[in-house]
Amino acid sequence: MKACLPALAALAPVLAVALAVPAGAVETSMQIVLQLQGNAERDVVTYDCEGAEEPLTVEYVNAAPVFLAFLPVGGEKLVFVSVLSETGTRYASGVHEWQTSGSEATLTDLAAEEGTPPLACLERSETP
Query: Is residue 29 a part of any domain in this protein?
Result: no
Nearest by Cα to 101 from 113, 115, 90:
90
Domain count of the fold of the chain: 1
Query: What global pTM score does this model have?
Result: 0.72
Query: Is residue 32 a part of any domain in this protein?
Result: no
Entry field: residues in the chain: 128
Higher-pLDDT residue of 36 and 39 is: 39
Nearest by Cα to 17 from 80, 64, 67:
80
Domain that residue 84 falls in: 39-123
Query: Is residue 43 a part of any domain in this protein?
Result: yes
43-81 tens-digit pLDDT: 999 999 999 999 999 999 998 888 999 999 999 999 999
Query: Is residue 118 a part of any domain in this protein?
Result: yes
CATH of the domain at 69: 2.40.128.200
- pLDDT on residue 57: 96
Mean of the per-residue pLDDT values of the chain: 81
Residue 39 makes CB contacts below 8 A (sequence gap 6+) with 63, 64
Check: CB of residue 40 under 8 Å from CB of residue 11: yes
